[in-house]
Amino acid sequence: MKRIIYQTLILFFATNIQAFDGISTKSIGLGGAVTATPPGLMAIHHNPSGLSQAREGFVYYQGLHAMAFKRKNQFSPDNSFQVLGISASQDPVANHESASGNTCLYYPIYGDAHGGIQILPLPTGMTFRPQNSRWIFATGVYMPFLQGIQFEADDPSQYQTQSYYQQHLVYASPSIAYHWSESFSLGMSVGIGQTAWGQSANLRIINDRFSQSYFLPPIPNIGPFDGFSHMQWQLRDDFSMSFNLGILWAPANNLTVGCVYRSAIPTQPKGQLEIHFSDDFMTLTRYCRNHRGFSSQLNAYGLENIDQQHSVHSVSMDQFKWPDSFQIGLQYDWSRNLCIMFDIQWTRWSHQNDYQLVFQNKDNPLFLLMDILDQPVDDRIVYPRKMKDTISYHLGMEWQVKESFKLRAGVSYHPQTVSDSHMSLMDIPDKIFMGTGFEWRWPNRWVIEQAVGIYLSTDKTIDNGSSQSLNQLDMKRSYFSPYGGQQVSSQAFGVIFSMNVRVPLSLLE
């Protein structure tokens, strides 16, 4: 029974969000190597000092992103693993592979949406530089953290990722930059944003406790590999603050150095957790109530006290922060027409050593079960995570074919952010991102940029029993592992198309 509690909890905590190189069109085309060559409006994120390169007057920027994320999970049974004499090869997910899935995101006001391709009219915003001024001002809307996918209801991945999304949207970013000299600039932006988390999954426990009912008629047929409930939750924090600080320095005519620090984003998303137990499971709990000695036969004390098939509970996450990061980049002008960019980014994921789920009251099945199991809690449950700091590498090249046309290409490497011992179906293994694009300056001073990028993760294999968040075998441990008995191989793939238009508003007068 203890594992029922943690099965629900881990569905909150197993996800791992990683920054995507899709914040701006130029960033996609150069593989994220833009700290020393910040991209117009989105210098707000990549390096605010780059706003110093903005032209005079008001300039409007409008971006468009079309994205598709895919995930493949394959399950191979460990035939040496058994529960009540039932082999892991009899698990319905054994020797099955997940379908590729669809993208799932949250749109403010509208709510969550899913499909093969998602379209975001971002980033958007405006820069303003007074005539003959060294000061530049800007604000924009963009999404620095983004990940989400949905599988079919009967997909083998249903016990962790029937659907989920985790994202952060910056909806206002007042920014300022100062062009100190021809070779030095500095800038700062303040982000005001919204965090949104959502997930839906079927629940099961790989155990030898209440699944003993599998052999004891007239109890419903609930085997050790069967699901018994459905869980859905949505959390949001509509106001959270962050800041970015950057400098841009050109020590030589053919060399530019850029640095940016992006602060952590403290947030406390709140929302509701909805639990719906299956009819068979409720029949089992009802039988336990009518036959008080039966729960002891199952070694599952407390089943008789679960009398709500459907319940909704107010919850929040406490002390959660999106990670801070530091990025430094170089741009070297190899020749008059060719530039090479190289960036290194450090991201501090390690401060997410645990996640804290806070309930508004104890009148819910989770706290009831914990009390029965002599595990009293105050108002929260703490779940450990072994996140680790990462260093990513970015390389880009830009070739000016002619005065009005540039070609771009880039590649970057991103390591996974969680230890193998806590890897889940929602964590992305090490991945490579590749992008290419172009910039076209029209004679009337409009600028159009386009880029396409793909990322492909390594094919990660988690051996049976090696991950506490996926296939842990020790039933006495307080971690939930819905795929105990299975070796899991996982791979992620994504494609993103981006377009950006830059329009001086003076042209519209």
Which residues on adjacent β-strands are paired with residue 320?
A: 267
Q: At what angle do helices 2-13 and 365-372 cross, to 10 degrees?
A: 140
One-letter amino acid for residue 54 of the chain: A
Between CA 69 and CA 410 the distance in angstroms is 20
Output the DSSP codes for 365-382.
HHHHHHHHTT---SSEEE
- The token pair at 429 is 């293994």
Helix, strand, coil share (%) of the chain residues, nearest 5: 15, 50, 35
List per-residue pLDDT tens for the chain, 509 residues long: 444 444 433 333 333 444 455 589 999 999 999 999 999 999 999 999 999 999 999 999 999 999 988 888 999 999 898 887 889 999 999 999 987 778 888 988 888 887 778 888 999 999 999 999 999 999 999 999 988 888 888 899 999 888 989 999 999 999 999 999 999 999 999 999 999 999 898 888 776 665 666 666 556 667 788 888 888 889 999 999 999 999 999 999 999 999 999 999 999 999 998 889 888 888 888 888 887 777 666 666 667 778 888 988 889 988 889 999 999 999 999 998 999 999 999 999 988 777 788 887 767 776 665 665 555 567 777 777 789 999 999 999 999 999 899 999 999 999 999 999 989 888 899 999 999 999 999 887 889 999 999 999 999 999 998 998 888 876 555 456 789 899 999 999 999 999 999 999 876 65
Q: For residue 114, what pLDDT is reported?
A: 78
Q: Which of 30, 21, 25, 24 is closest to 341 using CA atoms?
A: 30
- Residues paired with residue 202 on neighbouring β-strands, in sequence order: 230
Q: What is the CA radius of gyration of the chain?
A: 26
The domains of the chain, with CATH numbers, are: 2-508 (2.40.160.60)
Among all chains, which residue has been given the structure tokens 């959270």? 240
Q: What is the pTM of this model?
A: 0.91
Burial class of residue 48 in the structure, from the number of CB atoms within 10 Å of its CB (0-12 exposed, 13-18 middle, 19+ buried): buried
Distance CA 307, CA 19 (A): 42
Q: Are 247 and 49 in contact (CB under 8 A)?
A: yes
